[in-house]
Amino acid sequence: MALIRLEAPKQYYATSSLVIGYALCSSLLAVINKFAITKFNYPGLLTALQYLTSAAGVWILGKFGFLHHDPFNLDTAKKFLPAALVFYLAIFTNTNLLRHANVDTFIVFRSLTPLLVAVADTAFRKQPCPSKLTFLSLVIILGGAVGYVATDNGFTLTAYSWAFAYLVTITTEMVYIKHIVTNLGLNTWGFVLYNNLLSLMVAPVFWVLTGEYADVFAALGSSSGADLLEPVAFSAVSLSCVFGLLISFFGFAARKAISATAFTVTGVVNKFLTVAINVLIWDKHATPFGLVCLLLTIVGGVFYQQSVTGGVGAAPNQRESKQTDSTNDIKTGMDEEEGISGKLSGV
């Protein structure tokens, strides 16, 4: 009995540490990525460094026995390559969105994802239409997003082009990667390893297609080449890479340590923390009305998560049960993307 009493506080502190670590990583990651791309204006190289850090981190931790991942083999890699390509595009468009827009704009478009995934599931996967409460939550999200865009004084065609490209690629990534992971049977850290290592291999192709390689070599060959290793830029890039790996660790560990409801609540709190931190440290953020619309999209997300996790009552029949399974897939995909592809958002 005494031993149980001694173990309980240890378990409590361990769980609390995991939740706090996840909350800090999740709420700070989008802001850190924005800072990194501001100081290091090479999105392709930045994302490649993030892939390298995450892949190497998983491999090294696996060697020391801190985690277990599926072994890398060529046959699985060939099957996973299309998913890694979609993942790379999602990361690439996300980084360019943060490059041209503020964090508030990123959060709004990130919050629109459930709407598009629900539409894609109904249209292409022949899933039942969302329940009334789920539909209402999606309408609230859409209304908040429309209000934000209508009052965004930082609107530029370039920024919103990247925003729409990000929205399309992240929606595709969620639906497609969920399918790939289910079929291949990879464990969590195996997915992290394959995703980041294959994306790292794809990166040079995009450096050539976008012409970024020429910008990097030009910078290295000019007097401004030292800017690539400037202390502030180096620190920002390092933080971005480390936090991308940390959110994977804390996200998975926290999900195992606490209930699904508690994890969802933590994710919602993280969004509010990101907004608050962004308002405090950046001078370029949304107008007061834009922030209200932004918070409205987050509230819509709360209702959405409640509607798909059974927080408002169990499904009364088989059709609604299938719909709940479908929308839970969407939510699971969003949660996994937050941890596995933490570099995408952190929110």
Cut 0.75: pTM above it: no
Most confident of 1-15, 95-109, 224-238: 95-109
- Band of the pLDDT at 285, cuts 50, 70, 90? low
Query: 191 by DSSP, 3-state: which?
Result: helix
Query: 336 by DSSP, 3-state: which?
Result: helix
Angle at the Cα of 124 from the Cα atoms of 121 and 127, rounded to 5 degrees: 45
Q: At residue 94, does pLDDT exceed 80?
A: yes
The whole-number average pLDDT for the span 213-220 is: 84
- Band of the pLDDT at 317, cuts 50, 70, 90? very low
Angle at the Cα of 201 from the Cα atoms of 338 and 88, rounded to 5 degrees: 35
CA distances from 204 to 43, 107, 198, 240, 247 (A): 12, 28, 11, 20, 25
The whole-number average pLDDT for the span 111-130 is: 73
Most confident of 22-26, 27-31, 41-45, 170-174: 41-45
Q: At residue 245, does pLDDT exceed 70?
A: yes
Q: At residue 227, does pLDDT exceed 50?
A: yes
Which one has a higher pLDDT value, 173 or 319? 173
Sign of the alpha-carbon torsion through 246, 247, 248, 250: positive
Cα–Cα distance measured from residue 75 to residue 56, given in angstroms and rounded to the nearest whole number: 21
CB 53 within 8 A of CB 296: no
**DSSP code of 168?**
H
pLDDT in tens, 42-70: 888 988 999 999 999 999 999 999 888 98
CA atoms within 13 A on the CB side of 289: 9
Burial state string for 301-311 with b = 16 or more CB within 10 A and e = fewer than 16: bbbbbbbbeee
Q: At residue 347, does pLDDT exceed 80?
A: no
- Band of the pLDDT at 239, cuts 50, 70, 90? very high
- Band of the pLDDT at 125, cuts 50, 70, 90? low
pLDDT number for residue 330: 40
Calculate the average pLDDT of the chain. Answer: 77
- Band of the pLDDT at 344, cuts 50, 70, 90? very low
CB 69 within 8 A of CB 192: yes
Which one has a higher pLDDT value, 56 or 181? 56
Burial state string for 190-216 with b = 16 or more CB within 10 A and e = fewer than 16: bbbbbbbbbbbbbbeebbeeeebbeee
Q: At residue 233, does pLDDT exceed 90?
A: no
CA distances from 96 to 31, 40, 83, 171, 178 (A): 14, 12, 20, 17, 24
Cα–Cα distance measured from residue 312 to residue 173, given in angstroms and rounded to the nearest whole number: 29
pLDDT number for residue 64: 92
The whole-number average pLDDT for the span 283-300 is: 80
Which one has a higher pLDDT value, 335 or 240? 240
The owner of tokens 């950046």 is 282
The helix (run of H) or strand (run of E) holding residue 245 is helix 231-257
Angle subtended by helix axes 231-257 and 260-281, to nearest 10:
160
pLDDT number for residue 165: 92
Q: At residue 328, does pLDDT exceed 50?
A: no
- Please provide the DSSP assignment of 46-87 as one string: HHHHHHHHHHHHHHHHHHTTSS--PPP-HHHHHHHHHHHHHH
CB 277 within 8 A of CB 118: no
The whole-number average pLDDT for the span 159-179 is: 83
In the structure encoding, which two tokens stand for residue 43, read together?
A: 């999105």
